[in-house]
Structure 1
Amino acid sequence: MIVLLKLQRLLTFFLSFILVFLMLASAAFSAEEVLTLEEAKEMARGSRGLMQSELDAEKAKFEYYQAQKNYDDVKTPSYYNLLPYYFYLNEQKDQGINVDEQLKNVEKQISDAKGKLDAEADKAASARDTMESREIAYEDSKASKEKSEKQLDYQVEQMYTSILVQEDKMISMHKELDYKYNLLNIERKKLKLGNSTQEKVDKLAVDTSNFNKSIVEANNSLKNLKGKLNDLLGRDYDVGLKLVPFSVNEVVVIPVYNNLLPLATQNYDKLSQLEKNIEERKKDLDDDAVKDTAYQSDLIKIEIKKLELQIEDEKIKLKETINNLITDMNIKQKNYQLAKIDWENTQKNYERSQKRFGLGLISKLELLQSELDYLAGKNKYMSIGYDFSLAQNNLELVKQGIL
């Protein structure tokens, strides 16, 4: 009996501690900022998450503008600038004006400029090539930034939905704690009447205590999830955050393999980059220095072959990804529809249980069990739905060549 009293006091103290802890946590988040999914995505785009992509795009832009300026500076050789003045002086001389000294100076300048003309032309061609490559890099950086934004949107939704699922789970856990506590009280009363054993009471007490610990751990996990999302949104880690649940389309048009593959292939950056690399190496084969050296030519041909093999590997990878994605989408859509039916059934059962409890036909414990079934069905439905939503977004990423 003494052991029982000590265990009961310990459990009562622990439950009181949990209650105070949850009340303090609730107070700490009383000033939570309410955010929708779209608001969270927009906020993330203004945080440091995209800063690297933006800096890369800005750097590429300035390098392009500088290359363009360098090309403008050299594209008109000084030789051609001197010719009009040279012709003018000859006209002056034909008119009997003494311009021998000026002509002598200009002829020397033209002679010097003529000698530099080829080098000047090579410099202009080099500047033009640099400008064109910088322009391509600039366009690529802009496209990369856009894709980074879409990937960030997906990451935000992934964290956002994880929080919503965890919050639903916490509601179920608190209700289950209530159920376990009722079981424990019933078993204690049965013990007093001689209809139970101390072993059963102790087992339920330990089970309830352990479940309390699980609630604390789940609550801590939820706080960490919110902290990580806050950080991604550019907010303080510990600031309050309340997310608005969103509805998910139960039925979406899932593209067929033969329609999705060409679109994804066209937008897959890795394939286009490998193809560019092959074209560049083929141009190198036309270089006179390479043509004169069989060894260099053979090496480049080997490099081209390796790049072609990489392209085939990437094409296979893309095909597998698309095939798996379409299969996954169909399964998740079906699971989501079935989960809704299951949840609606548990909801109807719970409503019937409430009426029966009001008429005194079932016990409070049976009502709690019915409510737990309803909450479990709801949690499953929401979790599968959010997972299906992420799969839909993943499909949009693949369409744009983002694996």
Structure 2
Amino acid sequence: MDNFVFDNYTKIIFGKKTEETVGEEIKKYGSKILLHYGGGSIKKSGLYDKIIFSLNSAGVEYIELGGVQPNPRLSLVKKGVDICKRENVEAILAVGGGSVIDSAKAIGLGALYDGDPWDFHARKAIPERMLPVGTVLTIPAAGSESSDGSVITNEDGWIKRGLHSGCMYPTFSIINPELMYTLPKTQIANGCSDIFAHLAERYFTNTKGVEFTDRMIEAAMKTVINNAKAMVDGSKDYDTWAQVVWAGTIAHNNLLNTGRVGDWGSHNIEHELSAHYDIAHGAGLAIVFPAWMKYVLKHDVSRFVQFATRVFNVENDVFNPTKTAMNGIEAYERFLQSLGLPKTLSEVNIGDEKFELMAKQAVEIGGGKQGNFVELKENDILEILRMAK
């Protein structure tokens, strides 16, 4: 087990009707805020009206910036930065899922920086401070509501890059599972895929002596497996949703990677897919992650056997551990397909015409490589994409 420092200062306000407290919460950080959100879903659901009522009741002045897309765009980030600087905004309230929250974080960084906001994601500048960001979560998936990360897509070259810094944790996050009941099935499925992938990225590690965090990750994985199908099928049972929503937050708040080094190769490969083809992140991960698993399986068959037997209850063939490991990967694929997620790139009409470009771009940010469990070079990523075809 490795040395670690765990310091997550995000205040979590979880439960029914908690969104009604947002005005008083954000007022602690500023009386003039940027209200950041996506499309029209928060208005159709009535959440927008609740937020506005709470802000007005608390005497908080707000400037609105909607329009966040999945795979959030740098151009909107720049617009938000300009607003914050021009209007002397003191804090940002992100109402939405991971894309909205990631965009808000990027705006919060850029508002206190004199250069191009893209400098941070391009590794040309180191984040040191961010405007306070509060969130009201509407989609269980990215975990950005309690993480130190942000992922932004630059339309100039369609480059998608993730960024992590200790200054990027939201100050508070309001999480009411009831707000998510009306999500489309595809968004629920994509969200559950993303949560599971966050867990798997941490699970596949070369660090020894990590039984405690192994067991926590396995518990979170099984919770997602046990409840995701009911959510996709339309369940409005509060406890069913609450289990997965809370697992999604814990999956990405850095608690589960304490004392260990995760992989993150699959995420960086998928970022190229969603940057170039605008595929939903969870759908892309459902395609890439099993292909990655098959490609790196021989590196540590015993860990894949543990994954298969503990998470998916696969019978352990002690005479053929590789077979047991493959059965675990196939069980993972069946779980994803049970949610309606794609298995191959061809199912989502992605051909091989950009494979070489995506493989090249995937390793640029990592100095010619990606991943920690197995170090992937450009040719490795190209082969994984071909296996996913």
| TM-score normalised by length of structure 1 | 0.22
Higher helix proportion, which one? 1
Q: Which is higher, the Rg of structure 1 or of structure 2? A: 1
Q: Which has the higher contact order (CA 8 A, sep 6+)?
A: 1
| TM-score normalised by length of structure 2 | 0.23
